[in-house]
Amino acid sequence: MTPKRKRITAGILSAVLPGSGHFLVARKRAGIFWVAAFLLFLVLSSLVRFWTHYYSLIASAWFLMFFSIFAAHDASFRPKSENRPSRFWLFLFVPLVFIPTQLMQVAWWLGGYRLYIVPSTSMQPTITMGDRIVADSHYFRNHSVEQRQILVFKKEGLFIVKRVEAVPGDVIEGKAGTFYLNGRELDEGFEKPTEYSTAQFLAAFGPIKVPPGEYFVLGDNRSVSRDSRQPDYGNIPANHIVGRVLYVFNPLEPTHNKNFVQKP
């Protein structure tokens, strides 16, 4: 392989895995630096839960793409010599920098993050049909389930998203469409949809005392949601919970993007 081709190949390799191409051109120290920096970023981002927020995830993807371009440039064009290839080759490297973002997705998945597409209207207006949600399946290793949190849980072989409205020991009741938690009117904190009328069996229920190890969940679209108000649905056992929903986004409707967790 000619020196010029070796440099081009080094750039391709470092675009795919930052630093790997440096070893081909006998720049071992630089290769170790780029590879270590790349892996350190992925590990630390996962450990400190940096991807808890949607915009942090997007910023990480952009950072890795630019990082890979700089690594490829460094492998191909430095140090300067007569064997340095034309800068035209940079255009070849650009499509390859999406590969490190795929490696980031592996770290993201290993960190416990899960992506789901919502197929129903039961959580409108908070989450609409077609929205994407990201849940942290590791969240409840260090946190307890609290009222108002939005969860993903598994029921009858399906992954379902609902909001926790009562935790073990709470008493919840519905009267004529108004809900009461421990004797006080429930502050629902969101605008209710108006396109449906509430069915009687969904408007009045209980009182229900939530037993230990279970959680009473509701869909935000109270008038159509199938949830813990119905006896055949019941409460959600703790061991059925997959994780806490962190954020929602929709590539076609950016106005739907929102975070539910303020701190990692």
- Active-site residues, by number, are 122, 162
261/119 Cα distance (integer angstroms): 22
- For 152-166, what is the HEC assignment? EEEECCEEEEEEEEE
Among residues 178, 170, 123, the alpha carbon closest in space to that of 147 is found at 170
What amino acid is encoded at 226 in this protein? R
What does 20-77 look like in DSSP terms, one character per residue?
A: HHHHHTT-HHHHHHHHHHHHHHHHHHHHTTGGGSHHHHHHHHHHHHHHHHHHHHHHHH
152/19 Cα distance (integer angstroms): 39
- Asked if omega into 100 is within 30° of 0 (cis), the reply is no
Residue 33, number of CB atoms within 10 A of its CB: 16
- What is the length of the chain? 264
